[in-house]
Structure 1
């Protein structure tokens, strides 16, 4: 009887402790980069969730269509140093600005006082310009390849 009580008590304690950790993990996965574009941010938050569930398909997308180095992506995601949405955005910025994905990831890792909007500006991508529109169109293409509906962008 004592063993059963201890197991029941342990199970109850684990149940009480588990939900906050699960919610925190979900919140961390859902966090999107602050790009300065609400539509892009909503899609990147969704990409975080998608990549958490389908990491191989996410990495394949960036390797195949954005010329991203697979070992770098696997390393950064495996060590949870970078969120998938951040990696996607870095590679998307690289593609529309004619830069290598690795270079934009490294520039972002080095930091920028103005965050993603500053990095985009440094790469010649301004809100609403032709490159920003191509970036958004590229996201639509990724969603189409993944067979996913676009998230409501508000």
Structure 2
């Protein structure tokens, strides 16, 4: 879609949606950002989508500008339908998809390696002891019965 088509759509969407009935909030219910949720009704989702689409219409212009590197996304007075613990202040547009962050490698120390083998060896020793105990118990029971 062209920026003009996006703008026309967002104007129509905003005009058809009542902000008095809208509710949209981003909440963080735990300790980290992975513990967050959006609580919203249909009108709130539509108005928030319109704000995002409006920002999408400005991406090319912002990327072409030398000094303006963000798109303001701040709360306005008429945005009384916005609520929550997390508020988006601005959007920083990117020209391309960023490269994925490298996954951290875990270096194992000598102690880590020894503990791994000790645990594996400990389980193996327990299994051998269990088998020896069962065989010895069966032999003892057989000696009582047939002895």
What's the TM-score once normalised by structure 2's chain length? 0.21
What's the TM-score once normalised by structure 1's chain length? 0.21
Q: Which one has the bigger helix percentage?
A: 1
Q: Which one has the bigger strand percentage?
A: 2
Bigger radius of gyration: 2
